[in-house]
Amino acid sequence: MKSVTVKDLVVRFSLEVLAGESQLDRPIQKPEVHRPGLEFVGYFNFFSQEHIQLLGRKEVNYLHTLTEEERNERIGNVVRYHPPCFVVTWNQEGLKYLTKYCEEENIPLLRTSLRTKKFQELANAYLGKIMAPQMTVHGVCVNVAGIGILLRGKSGVGKSETAHTLIRRGHRLVADDVVVLKKIGPETILGTHDGKTKEFLALRSIGLINVSRLYGRSAFQDETRIVLDIELTKWQANALNNELELEEKYTDYMDIQIPHIEIQLQPGRDVAGLVEAAANNWYLKQQGYSAMDDFVKRLENDAD
């Protein structure tokens, strides 16, 4: 999991620093922001003190209604837990009392012009991706007609060459050689690059190419949801049977099952075309259509 600091948050969302500028290197350890509503009325049993504390209009307007003594007590009770930072939305004013406590306790106080709900959604999405559990695999990640595919196989089997053919057909490269997989939900794996290999594709006998420079910006995208795991293997005689529908197989990535397909390579086989067919067939299954079920129904109808 990549570490994130308050400064990263400030830079990402162009936040105004009202207090605690010397403490922007504080780590953020939780991927969701928290709105301290119950805490301001004295209930701390489930206080998320390691989360960013978000103050919207409801929270700030409530604090404005309190007497100075009450306000000092309520804010003091929250500040003493030393959360990583406070973020005030809507460019709200009248925060001298909050600034005072944050300066005394060296806690960054930040402000944004964004609406509370909007900032909460953006911050949660940003932190969720950055702090998501991740792993790296050797392979190529491509987006085929909006469908994220991980191509795997032994070195030299033809993964990058297959990706190159797909790119020339209008599809997109995400990562070559080193693919970073991030678990951003209980059923969602995101594939991306490691930064160093961004836009680069390594082709044997040719060398490195920059797909964006060679084929245009539409040839590359930063990330994609992985829904298919395709393994390219060398052709083995009699290894594949002629069943119309093979038993479904899966590959486990961080406890998420991704449908797995093996494509054996042989001179003359249109591997890129098979990858496109696999992607389109997966899409049809998501829409509730199964070619196998359709075929069986036709046979049954003919039998009647």
Among candidate residues 94, 75, 87, 79, the one with its CA nearest the CA of residue 111: 87
Catalytic residue among 118, 138, 154, 234: 138
Concerning whether 51 is annotated as a catalytic residue, the answer is no
Concerning whether 177 is annotated as a catalytic residue, the answer is yes
Q: Roughly what angle, to the nearest 10 degrees, separates helices 159-168 and 271-286?
A: 70
Reported as type and span, the H/E element at residue 163 is helix 159-168
Here the contacts of 150-153 (C-beta below 8 Å, separation 24 or greater) are 150/179, 150/181, 150/191, 150/226, 150/228, 150/229, 150/230, 150/258, 151/230, 151/231, 151/232, 151/275, 152/229, 152/230, 152/231, 152/232, 153/231, 153/232, 153/233
CA distance between the termini of the chain: 59
The span from the CA of 151 to the CA of 92, in Å, is 49
Catalytic residue among 177, 182, 193, 229: 177
Other CB atoms within a 10 A radius of the CB of residue 33 amount to: 22
Using the Cα atoms of residue 18, residue 19, residue 22 and residue 26 in order, give the sign of their dihedral.
Answer: negative
Strands annotated E in 91-162: 109-111, 134-144, 147-152
Concerning whether 7 is annotated as a catalytic residue, the answer is no
Sheet holding 16-19, edge to edge: 16-19, 109-111, 86-88, 52-55, 33-34
Catalytic residue among 51, 159, 164, 182: 159
Q: Roughly what angle, to the nearest 10 degrees, separates helices 116-130 and 6-13?
A: 120
Cβ atoms of 148 and 174 within 8 Å: the answer is yes
Strand partners, 250: 259
Q: Which residues are catalytic?
A: 138, 159, 177
